[in-house]
Amino acid sequence: MLERMRLALEYYCSPIWIIDDDGSSDTIAVEDMDISDSLKKDIITWDNLYQATFDAEYPPDSGFSSKEADDLLKKSFRLEGKALFLRLKEELKGKYIFEYMA
């Protein structure tokens, strides 16, 4: 049975997750993955932009600069994430069951 791989943004961790049959999960560093350098770079850039929205002084305020910007950028992030997900799925075809969480 194939393991599940998930692309999902979370603060302070890699956006690549491996989910075991029992539901436990762990992240994988993008740099350690067997994917093209261009895909690694693009996933890291996407994740770094998201990580920059974290407000360490008051985490509930994390996000983009305004409600309008937040809504627009969330939509943009979801679209970019979907494109990265499709590239990841293509490069690792047949090795995992893939999930994307927007």
Average pLDDT (4-27) is 92
pLDDT in tens, 58-93: 988 887 666 666 676 778 888 999 999 999 999 999
Q: Are strands 3-8 and 96-101 parallel, antiparallel or unpaired?
A: parallel
pLDDT of residue 68: 62
Report the C-alpha gap between 34 and 63 in whole angstroms. Answer: 31
pLDDT in tens, 28-45: 999 999 999 999 999 999
Q: How many CA atoms lie within 13 A of 78 on its CB side?
A: 8
3-state helix, strand, coil in the chain (%, to 5): 45, 20, 35
Structure tokens at 7: 């692309």
